Every structure is written in C-alpha cells, then in structure tokens.
Amino acid sequence: MSKPKAVVLLSGGLDSATVLAMAKARGFDCYTIGFDYGQKHNSELQAAHRVAAALGDHPHKVIRLDLGSIGGSALTSDEIDVPVGGVADSGIPVTYVPARNTVFLSIALGYGEVIGATHLFIGANAVDYSGYPDCRPAFIEQFQRLANVATAAVDGGEPWVVEAPLMTMSKSDIVTAGSSLGVDYSLTVSCYQADEAGAACGACDACRLRRKGFLDAGLEDPTNYQSGISPKI
C-alpha cells in the first residue's frame, strides 16, 4: 500500500526541519518545497537542501519568487534593518514578510495537486514566535477552507488538510520533539541575517528564540555563530 503524499514547506530552519521529521514519523511520503524569495538570509536555502537530503523522500524543490520587489520587510529590503534589541512583547515586527505564508502555501497547494498529495505541512507557531499574522491558528484554518474550494477537491476530490503541528508548542518542546526524532539541528539555519556560510548573528529574534529553546530544553545548542559574538536570549 502506498503512503499518503504530503508537501512540506522547508525553509532550512529549526521549525520546518522538525515538521518534516514529524510528517515522516506519521508515515507520509514527503515532498519538500522551499522558496528563494529575495531573502537576505539566503544561506537558509542551502540548509534546506541539507535537511531534505537527511530527512526527505524526494529531491528538494526550490521556487524562485521576488517578494523583495514589493519590500516592506527587514528580511527582503535593504532599507530596513533586522532588529537585534530583543523580541517585542506585542505588535507585528518589521521582519514580517507581507503575505509570505499565503503565497508559499498557495504554490505548495498547486504542487500538491500535481503530485497527488492530500496534506500540506507548515512550521507555523503561535507560542514562541515573533507575532506574525500568518503564523496563527485562524490563518491555517482559513487557508484549509480556501484549499478545499480552490482546487479539484471541490468537485469530489479528496479533501485537503493543512497541518501546523508546532502551533501550540514552545520552542523547547519543539527541539525536544525533533531531537527525539533524530533531527540534526546543526544542519539548520534560523538566523535572519546569517552570513554566507550560515553562521548566526546571535541577536535577532530568530536567534534569541532558538537559543532559548535549546537552553530551556536542557540540550546543547548546535548553532554555528559568527566569530566573536556572544549569543543572546
């Protein structure tokens, strides 16, 4: 009996690597997809290939987009600096990329139709995160509804399921779960301004949340930090 197929959004970061391991553990035939969308931290693209080679079932697919042309985010615009002062308690930070997950999931949905998948997996999280609107339960719920009226599923095809298994997990819970599934987090890159080699700045929101997760879980932090910096939480 063949395995059910799933498309897994794989950025190369800690969360998406964990989601891929979870999907595989549940018996899905996993097709990974990532996006070269004009992000400053494009060393994550190579990290995604490493993670897919270690955990995926098929060659990793990369789709090229130019979200940088619309700007509006510190991750894509040279006019906006990545903040390094600490994770804000409220508000949507400048590292939010407008409509990013909507665009990514839409393309993953089309890819899924082509290969005959029934599930989409994304590493969205609403606990230890930076306040992005497209990383909240309401967004995932509404996108699943859209998927089932915007595809062949509406004419009797198998319904789509959009899964965000990390949604209610803390970062420490995530790294604990991933470690138990054999995820090698040294392969991943989370930093918003990692250098070309993937070395992390240790001060952006992504670095702080990641490091705190390992510390809270009592696990060794395998992150490759840039020379001479002291990582913060």
Q: How many residues are given for the chain?
A: 233
Tell me if 219 sits within 8 A of 175, measured CB to CB: yes
Tell me if 127 sits within 8 A of 168, measured CB to CB: yes
pLDDT score at 114:
97
Tell me if 55 sits within 8 A of 21, measured CB to CB: yes
pLDDT score at 1:
74
Tell me if 108 sits within 8 A of 140, measured CB to CB: no
Tell me if 147 sits within 8 A of 158, measured CB to CB: no
pLDDT in tens, 80-94: 999 998 887 778 999
Tell me if 187 sits within 8 A of 181, measured CB to CB: no
Q: How many CB atoms lie under 10 A from the CB of residue 195? A: 15
Alpha carbons 22 and 191: distance in angstroms, whole number: 22
The pTM score is: 0.96
Alpha carbons 171 and 178: distance in angstroms, whole number: 10
Q: How many CB atoms lie under 10 A from the CB of residue 92? A: 12
pLDDT in tens, 55-66: 999 999 999 999
Domains and CATH numbers, the chain: 5-184 (3.40.50.620)
* Distances from the Cα of 57 to the Cα of 51, 113, 141, 175, angstroms: 11, 18, 27, 22
Tell me if 62 sits within 8 A of 92, measured CB to CB: no
Low-confidence ranges of the chain (pLDDT < 70): 128-130
pLDDT score at 161:
98
pLDDT score at 130:
66
Alpha carbons 146 and 7: distance in angstroms, whole number: 17
